[in-house]
């Protein structure tokens, strides 16, 4: 069975490729912008593709005729999306439209990766049937892309996730855990908000969740995240304590004190009961996730 993965140079992609390759039942085609940045090069095909170009997307899908498309490619830097709305729309909505149209021609099962930022953060954590109401442009673009998938002629699944963390084979990319660890190791003070709540997601768990959806060709909306509800400050403290770093360098602040271009929802997090019952999804705790990250960093 052929599966096409977009955004394969990112956190999810670099953990999804080996997971699907080792299964043996999937013929994996990975795509990303520019050259392949994943060190493992065996047993899958990589193609550099500009997903914002309709012709390139159509050509890619026609060439490989995938049975499943896992669309993880996106512009996800929230402030960049707010400052560069045209680029955000082209990347998150336009590219999804091109992929959906191409997928309809080969009747591929379509899995779309979305976000907790489709919600306003007033009543989290959220179940799959909660009403969307984004408060930033990134969230707005993901809602628009979700609707394209939902209204398509395809069999589809929309996988929402939250604050993904882990290790990627690219020194220029970081996430909450590596950012905290690297700064504290260098003796730098960091400011971390304590009035936002999330259910942070280990990238390996997200990859497993996507594979479970693909294996079952399960349709509909699925929340795939961690199960611990934490603030970024909680995460930073636990990270510092785990790596035996100076917690005194971490300053607790309010999100209101930050001059960020994009507003963030205060309390999101996702309820994962549906994924647990229907898919058998069982995420690790944040403490277990830190163990796995530490092992990868070695």
pLDDT, one tens digit per residue, over 135-155 is 999 999 999 999 999 999 999
Enter the pTM of the model: 0.97
CATH class of 2-166+200-227+269-284: alpha beta
Alpha helices in the chain (DSSP H): 11-23, 54-64, 78-83, 85-89, 95-106, 137-150, 176-185, 203-216, 232-242, 273-279, 286-297
pLDDT by position in tens, the chain (length 298): 999 999 999 999 999 999 999 988 999 999 999 999 999 999 999 999 999 999 999 999 999 999 999 999 999 999 999 999 999 999 999 999 999 999 999 999 999 999 999 999 999 999 999 999 999 999 999 999 999 999 999 999 999 999 999 998 876 677 899 999 999 999 999 999 999 999 999 999 999 999 999 999 999 999 999 999 999 999 999 999 999 999 999 999 999 999 899 999 999 999 999 999 999 999 999 999 999 999 999 8
pLDDT, one tens digit per residue, over 48-85 is 999 999 999 999 999 999 999 999 999 999 999 999 99
- Cα-Cα end-to-end distance for the chain: 34
pLDDT of residue 171: 65
* DSSP per position, 56-96: HHHHHHHHH--SEEEE------HHHHHH-HHHHHIIIIIHH
Q: How far is CA 295 from CA 37, 167, 168, 209, 292, in A?
A: 20, 10, 13, 21, 5
CB 272 within 8 A of CB 223: yes
Q: How far is CA 241 from CA 11, 270, 295, in A?
A: 24, 26, 16
């Amino acid at each position: 069975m052929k599966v096409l993965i977009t955004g394969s140079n990112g956190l999810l992609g670099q953990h999804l490729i080996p997971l699907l390759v080792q299964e043996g039942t999937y013929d994996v085609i990975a795509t990303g912008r520019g050259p392949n940045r994943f060190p493992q090069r065996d047993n899958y095909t990589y193609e550099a593709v500009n997903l914002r170009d309709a012709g390139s997307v159509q050509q890619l899908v026609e060439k490989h005729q995938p049975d499943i498309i896992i669309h993880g490619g996106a512009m996800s830097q929230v402030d960049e999306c707010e400052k560069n709305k045209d680029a955000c729309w082209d990347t998150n909505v336009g590219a999804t439209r091109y992929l959906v149209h191409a997928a309809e021609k080969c009747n591929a099962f379509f899995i779309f990766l979305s976000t907790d930022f489709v919600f306003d953060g007033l009543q989290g954590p959220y179940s799959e049937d909660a009403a969307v109401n984004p408060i930033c442009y990134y969230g707005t673009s993901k809602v628009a892309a979700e609707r394209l998938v939902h209204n398509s002629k395809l069999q589809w699944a929309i996988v929402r996730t939250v604050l993904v963390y882990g290790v990627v084979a690219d020194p220029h990319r970081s996430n909450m855990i590596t950012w905290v660890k690297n700064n504290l190791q260098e003796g730098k003070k960091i400011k971390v908000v304590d009035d936002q709540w999330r259910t942070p997601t280990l990238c390996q768990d997200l990859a497993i969740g996507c594979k479970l959806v693909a294996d079952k060709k399960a349709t509909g909306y699925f929340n795939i995240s961690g199960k611990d509800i934490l603030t970024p400050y909680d995460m930073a403290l636990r990270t510092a304590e785990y790596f035996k770093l100076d917690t005194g360098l971490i300053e607790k602040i309010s999100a209101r004190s930050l001059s960020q271009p994009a507003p963030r929802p205060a309390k999101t997090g996702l309820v994962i009961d549906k994924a647990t019952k229907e898919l058998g999804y069982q995420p690790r705790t944040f403490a277990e996730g830190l163990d796995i990250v530490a092992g990868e960093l070695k």
